[in-house]
Amino acid sequence: MSIKNIKNLKEFSTANERFEGSHLMCPGCAHTMIVRELMNATDDNLVISCNTGCLEVGTAVYPFTSWDTSWIHVGFENAPSAISGAEAMYKTRLRKGSLKAPKDPVKFVTFGGDGSTYDIGFQWLSGAVERGHDFTYICLDNENYANTGGQRSSSTPIGASTSTSPAGRVSYGEKNKKKDIVAIMAAHGAPYVAQLSPNKWKSMAKGFQKALETEGPCFINTVSPCTTEWKFAPKDTIHLADLATDSLMFPLYEIIDGHELNILYRPKNIIKVEDYLAAQGRYKHLFKPENKHVIEQIQKDIDAKWEHLQRREEARI
């Protein structure tokens, strides 16, 4: 399927129903929007693995499943290893003639949250990419361990209050900067990496298709607003994604072959990061007078990162 053939979002959202709505994910969770978009972006056969996390526990409650495709879950951290084994087995059986090639191509996909991607499962992901397996890894980045109590991860931004980096009288929340997972995966030599968001559905669909069509390991980081731990109303999920991309807190771009950087979205009106922070309960403490310097630092970091991305795009390095 080509995105050029999709006229509107309604048509696209019902183009290829392979993810059922009868799951236990939170109302307003962006994970399911992202998953459906990936599955609707292609007619290819899909083999999908999931790390333990919100997506896995909410869509595969034995004996039920929301997945109308081949699907496997192994552990919290090693879905990249599971999909690597499936991909290697598939290629080996085709080569030996013990498996007949299907009419439509088979694509291998892994989903993981930021906890299992940035932290617990990073070595498995790194190894699978280094070995060059032909698969696409999609990180559903809600910036915390949402499935196990809302603990901080190395994706949690400075200033966010979580169950293990709580804001209070002696702390303004998370103290460390968010890990730049996209740059790390590009440095692995992955042929295609990107940062995408569900509010820009056409850009996301194109990014998914590029990854699926690219031979070798591809990595995509997607912002996934979490109504439970970010503390906003379920109806505002896409609004939060709009604020994330328009404030450049979550810029959208791709890196091809480790060096060619293309910015995928340039806001016409860049908003201040405080508009994004103010829409979430996890940042409400930053608006106290003693914590305003944290907002100022976040804004400076965003401006510096945006300038860096633009310079890289211009220089093609």
Task: Quote the distance between the C-alpha of residue 113 and its chain's center.
Answer: 7
Q: Give mean pLDDT, residues 81-104.
A: 95
Percent of the chain scoring above 70 in pLDDT: 97
Q: Tally Cβ neighbours within 10 Å of residue 245.
A: 25
DSSP string of 167-215? BSSS-BS--SPPP-HHHHHHHTT-SEEEEE-TTSHHHHHHHHHHHHHSS
Task: Quote the distance between the C-alpha of residue 45 and its chain's center.
Answer: 21
Q: Is 151 helix (H, G, I), strand (E, B) or coil?
A: strand
Report the candidate in 164, 188, 189 with the shortest Cα–Cα distance to residue 174. 164
Instruction: Please report how many Cα atoms fall inside a 13 Å half-sphere around the Cα of residue 186, on the Cβ side.
Output: 19
Task: Quote the distance between the C-alpha of residue 58 and its chain's center.
Answer: 17
Predicted local distance difference test score (pLDDT) of residue 16: 73
Angle formed at CA 144 by CA 211 and CA 202, multiple of 5 degrees: 30
pLDDT digits (tens, 9 = 90+) for 151-170: 999 999 999 999 999 999 99
Long-range contacts of 63-66 (CB under 8 A, 24+ apart): 64/22, 65/20, 66/19, 66/20, 66/21, 66/22, 66/23
Task: Quote the distance between the C-alpha of residue 221 and its chain's center.
Answer: 3
Predicted local distance difference test score (pLDDT) of residue 2: 53
pLDDT at 4 exceeding the cut of 60 = no
pLDDT at 3 exceeding the cut of 70 = no
Predicted local distance difference test score (pLDDT) of residue 7: 67
Answer positive or negative: Cα dihedral of 237, 139, 153, 188: negative
2 compared with 85, residue with greater pLDDT:
85
Predicted local distance difference test score (pLDDT) of residue 13: 74
DSSP string of 56-86? HHHH--TT--SB-SEEEE--SS-HHHHHHHH
Q: Cβ neighbours of residue 115 under 8 Å, at least 6 residues apart?
A: 53, 76, 144, 145, 147, 148, 151, 153, 155
pLDDT digits (tens, 9 = 90+) for 178-237: 999 999 999 999 999 999 999 999 999 999 999 999 999 999 999 999 999 999 999 999
Q: Give mean pLDDT, residues 287-300.
A: 97
Q: Rounded to whole angstroms, how far apart are CA atoms 22 and 27?
A: 12
Q: Rounded to whole angstroms, how far apart are CA atoms 18 and 232?
A: 29
pLDDT at 1 exceeding the cut of 60 = no
pLDDT digits (tens, 9 = 90+) for 225-260: 999 999 999 999 999 999 999 999 999 999 999 999
Q: Give mean pLDDT, residues 167-179.
A: 96
Domains of the chain: 3-315 (3.40.50.970)
pLDDT digits (tens, 9 = 90+) for 93-138: 999 999 998 888 899 999 999 999 999 999 999 999 999 999 999 9
Predicted local distance difference test score (pLDDT) of residue 14: 73
- SS (HEC) of 246-314: HCCCCCCEEEECCCEEEECCCCCCCCCHHHHHHCCHHHHHHHCHHHHHHHHHHHHHHHHHHHHHHHHHH
Task: Name the amino acid, one letter, at 21.
Answer: G
Predicted local distance difference test score (pLDDT) of residue 9: 79
Mean pLDDT of the chain: 94
Predicted local distance difference test score (pLDDT) of residue 121: 95
Q: Give mean pLDDT, residues 45-72.
A: 95
